[in-house]
Structure 1
Amino acid sequence: MKAVILAGGLGTRLAEETGLRPKPLVEVGGKPILWHILKIYSAHGINDFVICLGYKGHMIKQYFADYLLTCSDVTIDMNDCSVTLVDTGSGTGTGGRLRSVAKYLQGERTFCMTYGDGVADVDLSALIEFHQSHGKAVTITAVQPVARFGALGLEHHKVLEFQEKPQDEGGWVNGGFMVLDPVAINAVTNDDEMFEQEPMERLVKEGEVQAFFHHGFWQAMDTLRDKQTLEKMWEKGDAKWIINDKVKNGNGGAYKVNGFQ
């Protein structure tokens, strides 16, 4: 199975870092967040990636192979792992990026897709099995993000407790880590569309979207604060998104599995 990584956005809310490099190359524990995402998939035996490039996409190409030309699509075989890097345009919507890589997904019954800025300990094997069981076109991973600020436990005016960044008890949100049938790409009508908006709304109206509930760790890297949160977890050896074949060391959570190393 292949995994599509959307890695072409501007990352404006992390401008402290993204002025110099694309967001997927912002580092946590000395490794780009993109590296961590590939490791999550690789731990579940998914080692064939299609990465949708846009803003400063040449730097991602250079990360994988800095000696190759950056003006063309490049496929790199690395032992048991294959990475295809596709320039999908700097201003293209996520739906358009997905349409741009459709030719690389021909013959696939299903494929995974996520964003190049978030990590989680999602059981991808269970997610894929769930998708295959219901027969719909799209499965999204639903998460309840940790609150941005601490909360107060109140009884009228009396403060009963302080809760440090509790799990949000509100609505579930799309945490990425999706599984799609190729037919879902047909819901995208032009390259400016964001897949999460009009195309997804069309699929929802057709009853083609199901949710896989994830109750474990999930964290998007939207802001400098988010990056610092992930960095601290790594430094403490508590990188919860590291899920298999974990080898701890004194500097954090280095690890290695078959496939993407």
Structure 2
Amino acid sequence: MRVVILAGGLGTRISEESHLKPKPMIAIGDQPILWHIMKYYSEFGFNDFIICCGYKGYVIKEYFADYYLHRSDVTFDFAAENRMTVHSNVAEPWRVTIVDTGLNTQTGARIKRVQKYIGDEPFMLTYGDGVSNVDLNALLAQHRQSGKVVTLTGIQPGGRFGVLDLDEGSNTVIGFREKAKEDGGWINGGFMVAQPELFRYLSTDESCILERMPLETLAKEGRLGIYKHNQFWQCMDTQRDKGHLESLWYTKAAPWKIWTD
């Protein structure tokens, strides 16, 4: 089963780095968040990737073109006819198709534009800026059993800002706390499974947004499922998010890191 990754957005909320590279190429540790996502899927046996590029997509293409150089020791022997030797090269079991889906194209149109690479088969679908420890096998099993066109992973993130605890009688702040997950509703955390029938709801027009008309229509028809995930999920929208993810990574506490080095 192929995995489609949406990796073409501008990443304006983390512009400190995204002015130089697409957001999926911003690193957690020494590897792009895109690599972390792909490693996670690979651990469940999903190794055929289609990456929907847009903004600075050439950076993604160059990364995979030189993947062995990024992941290996290299000897450059200039005295021997400028020979290059790659040592202990890392061979991922991946097949990666990188597609330029347009600079300003919205998510629905990006997916529609890679239809020819997917064919008439179900596929995984996610965003290129979020990591999780969602059970992909359980997600897929529920999707197959449900008969839905799309099953998305629902998450309940805590609030970005602290909540004030008040003594209402005296208008006094008596404490601070993080917004609890239970205080909010479910949101789409990505990590979706889709039937090829989804393409009927999409358009190549760059204004087609997956999360608007296509998914809203499926919801009205009762054909949009949700797999509830109550454990770790984190997107990387801001430098604060990046710092949090890197802290987890460097302290070896990253919940999405299920592979062995």
Trace 1:13-28 onto structure 2 (pairs within 5 A).
13-28=13-28
Is the partner of 1:122 in helix, strand or coil?
A: coil
Cα offset, 1:66, TM superposition: 4.3
TM-score with structure 2 setting the length: 0.85
Q: How large is the RMSD of aligned CA atoms in angstroms? A: 1.8
Cα offset, 1:150, TM superposition: 2.6
CA–CA distance in 1 between the matches of 2:184 and 2:216?
A: 21
Structure 2 counterpart of 1:207, one-letter code:
G
1:134 counterpart residue number = 146
1:184 counterpart residue number = 198
* Deviation readout 1:38-72 (Å, 9 max, x if unpaired): 011111111110000100001100000049xxxxx
Deviates more, 1:227-236 or 1:14-23: 227-236
* Deviation readout 1:117-170 (Å, 9 max, x if unpaired): 000000000000000001010001000012212334456457665434543521
- Same amino acid, percent of matched pairs: 51
Is the partner of 1:89 in helix, strand or coil?
A: coil
* Deviation readout 1:204-240 (Å, 9 max, x if unpaired): 1221101110000000101111111111111221111
TM-score with structure 1 setting the length: 0.85
* Deviation readout 1:60-102 (Å, 9 max, x if unpaired): 00000049xxxxxxxxxx6521111111111111111101110
Structure 1 counterpart of 2:224, one-letter code:
V
Q: Is the 8 Å Cα contact of residues 143 and 175 (structure 1) preserved in structure 2?
A: yes
Mapped pair 1:228 → 2:243: yes
2:86 counterpart residue number = none
Count of aligned pairs: 235
Structure 2 counterpart of 1:13, one-letter code:
R
2:211 counterpart residue number = 196
Is the partner of 1:222 in helix, strand or coil?
A: coil
Q: Is the 8 Å Cα contact of residues 132 and 256 (structure 2) preserved in structure 1?
A: yes
1:72 counterpart residue number = none
1:170 counterpart residue number = 184
CA–CA distance in 2 between the matches of 1:236 and 1:118?
A: 19
Structure 2 counterpart of 1:133, one-letter code:
Q
Mapped pair 1:6 → 2:1: no
Larger radius of gyration: 2
Structure 2 counterpart of 1:139, one-letter code:
T
